[in-house]
Amino acid sequence: MRMKRVVRPTVALVALVVGACVRPSATPVVSPSPAAPTPVASAPAAGVTARAAAVVPNPNAPKVLVIATGGTIAGVQDAPGTLGGYRAGTLTAEQITASVPELARYARIETEQFSNVASTLVTPEMWVKLAKRINVALQRGDLAGVVVTHGTDRLEETAFFLYLTVRSNKPVVVVGAQRPATGISPDGPINLLSAVRTAASPKAVQKGVMVVMDDRILSARESRKLYQRTGGFDTGDMGMLGVVASQGPEFFFAPVRRFGERSEFDLDRVDTLPKVELTMSYPGGTGQTFTTNPKGVVVATTGMTAAENATYRALRQTGVVVVTSFTSGENVNGGGGGGGGDGPPPARVDTTARRDSVARPVVAPVPPGVVALHLTATKARILLMVALTKTNDPREIQRIFNEY
């Protein structure tokens, strides 16, 4: 991976940004775009160049590393300035930052291209590599923080994985866009500016990994994509830490669960994550079975049927760790009945020998299930994958779920 520092965009670099709008790309198409006349490139280039000329860089600003992974924030259209389809993951990290010359007022920007794909192509193996890269980068004494640009379809999952595995208290901000860079009123530039201002701020230290979108600062533990429009990221009942105001980031809350330097998850010897499946409970359901059992299963449920209970008890008996998560992700009750747990316990079986008969066979106890508290099933799956790199004891995994 090659690191470059960008202080101010040049006219040539701006031309590259515009040129990317009409270049063919191997990146998957997000949606089909009708044929359209070749766009006029001079106007956008001139606009960015004029803005760049008006910006006076701050030579004493903190250093922020922008790591680009692709997504809509790096997407361009065949017909710029329309509502048409676009190709995610087209612009480079340098092109994205060059299109926002105002960044130079708040940070000295370095860029790095980690990948350039639609976020649906991001894999758990890529999570591990990205977390390792960020952990190494944040050891630099001259670096204030890191910004990761990312597609929004999988942004919340990547952000939560980083929340668990980045072992530094320096700010890490994940940012994306709901509109492509060449679309009408793109949200990527202002989101990127807000993200960089947050990563550069001393106020953001010890706040964990954050998602910054639409001038809101969200904890990565709670952030969720609710819909495909600007303002589409939220945190449910909890998790909004602050806002990015005209004077910069303002924090009003901070996460209290374990993260950063307090995280126990060390990825130094981890390259792949244990396989964990995600299933759903529903009326009349019988539970999911597998030809080859995974290491763990997460069940999204508000309360399981008797057949589902039996299926997942059988999986636990074979050593599969089963986690239940309330479907909304909002539940904070520790288990039981309709709380997304495993239902009432079965009647106690007497396994002792009677004096007047042959001893009954001793039945092995069923390992307990694990309950996720205020965590969506998709994020419970990620936490279970990470926890299984340390232990497969469900009691210890429950302790992990209670602390993170």
Return the half-sphere exposure (C-beta side, CA atoms, 13 A cut-off) of residue 158.
Answer: 32
Backbone angles phi, psi at 223, to 5 degrees: -65, 140
Q: Report the C-alpha gap between 48 and 54 in whole angstroms.
A: 10
Please give the distance of CA 169 from its chain centroid, rounded to a whole number: 18
Question: To which residue do tokens 């956008």 refer?
Answer: 44
Q: Rounded distance, CA 321 to CA 275, Å? A: 11
Measure the CA–CA gap between 330 and 138, rounded to whole angstroms: 32
Q: Provide the H-helix boundaries in 2-69.
A: 11-19, 42-54
Structure tokens at 388: 């299984």
**Rounded CA gap, 172 and 208, in Å?**
7
Supply the DSSP string of 240-267, one letter for each residue. EEEEEETTEEEE-----SS-GGG-----
Sheet holding 370-371, edge to edge: 276-280, 296-300, 321-325, 370-371
Task: Provide the 8-state DSSP code for 200.
Answer: T
Q: How far apart are CA 343 and CA 347, in angstroms?
A: 12
174 three-class SS: strand
The alpha carbon dihedral of 313, 314, 316, 320 has a sign of negative
Give the active site residues.
Answer: 72
- The three-point CA angle 100-211-99 to 5° equals 10
Residues 6+ apart with CB under 8 A from 6: 94, 97, 98, 109, 110, 111
CB 175 within 8 A of CB 191: yes
Residues 6+ apart with CB under 8 A from 323: 296, 297, 298, 299, 369, 370, 371, 372, 380, 381, 384, 397, 401
Nearest to 160 by CA among 318, 390, 319, 380: 380
Which residue type is seen at 342?
Answer: D
